[in-house]
Amino acid sequence: MELNRRTVIAGAAAAGLAATGLGTGTAQASTSGGRAPVKEHFGTLADGTRIYRWSLENGGTRLKVLNYGGVVQSLELPDRHGRYADVVAGFDDIADYVAESPYFGALIGRYGNRIGKGRFTLDGTSYQLSVNDGVNSLHGGAQGFDKHVWDVEPFTHGHDVGLRLYYTSADGEMGYPGTLRTTVTYTLTRHGDWRIDYEATTDRATVVNLTSHVYWNLAGEGGGTIEDHELTIAASRYTPTDPGLIPTGELAGVAGTPFDFRCAKPIGRDIRAGHEQQVQAKGYDHNWVLDKGITARPEHIATLRDPRSGRTLRIATDQPGLQFYSGNFLDGTLTGTGGRTYRQGDALCLETQHFPDSPNQADFPSTVLRPGRTYRTTTVHAFGV
């Protein structure tokens, strides 16, 4: 008999199974009434700034978040037997996030993904951004939103618990025009879903593309390759790139290529197929053009499942694109929270977004935000077994 998530959570609580990692409680049988966020000191930056971690628990999901970069430092889920594991890559030490993190668990802005040559033109004015990926700008530049300390406000609302994170990016920061005031809300629902709501306003026309850069391994962080994870993406097209991973402008069909994930398949099945796009990216590192397009509310667009543990992640978003990155540049030099090193393909990212390089691609959906308008987008992560 296949067990559902609520049965597994209740069974874990009845058995008194202890939390893994830094958690100290047992699994919750209830799917409502989550615990209020708990704050603790996590570390100190070189300039003396204290970094804090908030721990949230609701509906059987345990989430730990830093005010540095809005980083999801840990996310624990039960497997089909009720055994918990941390399923996101991360570090135990703030110094590692500062010195060497490849965006583990971070909030990304102002612009998620790449902008070609770090340049774009808006309303007749050209802007030069911080260049930090060869000749291109990646994830907001050398000091993107992932490298700033956010203000954090914990909340409980009905059966939900969460955090509101605030950051104001000054006009000209990393070359972007306009003062951008950003609020990102992390919510754990009574059913254990993790919801992200992004909002931003500006006083000058600018471009915005916010996302979350969690690295997933549903078998448990440091648990080995994700190539046996089964992935489904509701997309008939993707955006091929040049050797610098900047989209060429083409919306190419996935049919008959390794990029076809319309039906569930193991990630490793075609990852070494030798397609020229895979060769230059060292695997998958592309934007999928979601069939649903931009929608008024989040719609289901991707499912990730680990057959060994039974853990399943379902993603819903209102965004038009999904960047699937197969951990191609993890090279064994980073040691995670469980004391194990992360090697190529030991974790993956599924980043809901607008398309890379949209400010330079007239045929891509616009990422322009103007004064008087509010940027809003939502992504929901639903977990199951």
Active site (catalytic) residues: 213, 351
> Do 351 and 325 contact (CB within 8 A), yes or no?
yes
Counting other chains too, the contacts that 127-132 makes at CB distance below 8 Å and 24 or more residues apart are: 127/175, 127/176, 127/177, 128/175, 129/174, 129/175, 129/176, 130/174, 130/175
Q: Which residues contact 98 (CB under 8 A, 6 or more apart)?
A: 45, 46, 68, 147
> Do 114 and 356 contact (CB within 8 A), yes or no?
yes
Q: Give the pairing type, strands 106-108 and 194-202.
A: unpaired
Structure-token match 């830094």, residue found? 22
Query: How far is Cα 298 from Cα 42, in angstroms, rounded to an integer?
Result: 33
What's the chain's length in residues? Answer: 385
DSSP string, 109-158: -SBSSEEGGGEEEETTEEEEPPP-BTTBEETTSTT-GGGSBPEEEEEEET
Q: Which two tokens stand for residue 249?
A: 């402008």
Burial class (CB in 10 A: 0-12, 13-18, 19+), 37: buried
DSSP string, 39-54: EEEEEE-TTS-EEEEE
> Do 235 and 323 contact (CB within 8 A), yes or no?
no
Query: How far is Cα 268 from Cα 30, in angstroms, rounded to an integer?
Result: 37
Query: How far is Cα 305 from Cα 230, in angstroms, rounded to an integer?
Result: 5
Phi and psi at 8, nearest 5°, equal -65, -45
Query: How far is Cα 146 from Cα 164, in angstroms, rounded to an integer?
Result: 16
> Do 237 and 250 contact (CB within 8 A), yes or no?
no
